[in-house]
Amino acid sequence: MTQSIRLAISGASGRIGHALLTLVREDKRFELVSALVSSSSTHSGAAVFPELPASLRYTHAWSAVAADVVIDFSGPDGLTAALDYCLTHHAALVTGTTGIDAALQAKLSEASQHIPVLHAANFSLGVAVLKRLLGEAAAALPDWDLEIIEAHHSRKEDAPSGTALALGDAAAGARGTTLAKDAVYVREGRPGARRSGSIGFAVVRGGDVVGEHTALLLGQGERVELSHRATDRSIFARGALETAAWLAGKKPGAYSIDDLLQERGRGT
């Protein structure tokens, strides 16, 4: 049998962190070596699996971590710490943290010259396919108005969601433009008539919505609606674990879920 992959989870006390911990217990591909939380965490020092006699404990001490792969679902600070660890120890990094600024994005890109990095705004395979379909539809219907609507639970901190931005980015790219040029994030008061070619975003927040994304392509007398609804957040954890198992041992580089899907499609 091949050796299991030593895995550290950053943001382990969070919603996705918990889903990861639940799944990884049963996953023979991995050995869970660390469950990282913030230095101010109320979980620090607590047992990760209290029902086990010698359970791993939540920690904020990266200095004690010895991992092949880090999966990070925390926030910008947690991601920065995970990235620093991976660079120093040549570990692979899988991160789903969203709402990161341009400087951290640039740091991630730079790091991918030295270690394997996979940053995805959404680890669901359904969303990966939605992104492809939207790119195709946006290119085939270049004059139709494009709007992206997303809904998430009331505790989500960033908006629009990283997934909505990734969808918008795919559509913009397929039309030969960028979100920096054509996105419209706010409409209020009298914004005037819709600018042709713009890509509009609308955000809903409330309750326990796991994640819903709809792209509307609006023509004259007809429309196309492409939607994805996540009903269980374990899909993100499952996707992240699949990705981590695939990324471990890869050469340095910036990888995407599309790379994994394509490689699987080729049967390699």
Contacts (Cβ under 8 Å, ≥6 apart) of 95: 71, 72, 73, 79, 82, 83, 108, 117, 118, 119
Question: How many other C-beta atoms lie within 10 A of the C-beta of residue 33?
Answer: 18
User: Cβ distance 217 to 224 under 8 Å?
Assistant: yes
Instruction: Round to whole Å and give the CA distance between 197 and 128.
Output: 24
The span of 95-103, 192-200, 216-224, 248-256 binding ligand NAP (CB under 6 A) equals: 95-103
CB of 48 to ligand NAP, least distance (A): 12
Q: Which two tokens stand for residue 59?
A: 């920690």
Binding mask 97-116 for ligand NAP (x = CB under 6 A): xxx-----------------
Instruction: Check binding of 243 to ligand NAP (CB under 6 A).
Output: no
* Residue list 66-85, contact with ligand NAP (CB under 6 A): 73-75, 77-78, 81
The answer to whether 152 is a known catalytic residue is yes
* Residue list 168-187, contact with ligand NAP (CB under 6 A): none
The answer to whether 18 is a known catalytic residue is no
CB of 81 to ligand NAP, least distance (A): 5
The 8-class DSSP code of residue 3 comes to P
Instruction: Check binding of 160 to ligand NAP (CB under 6 A).
Output: no
Nearest to 117 by CA among 243, 12, 212: 243
Please, which residue, 38 or 214, has the CB nearer to ligand NAP? 38
Instruction: Check binding of 122 to ligand NAP (CB under 6 A).
Output: yes
Contacts (Cβ under 8 Å, ≥6 apart) of 147: 199, 200, 201, 202, 215, 216, 218
Active-site annotation, residues: 152, 156
Q: Which residues bind ligand NAP (CB under 6 A)?
A: 10-11, 13-17, 36-38, 41, 43, 73-75, 77-78, 81, 96-99, 120-123, 236
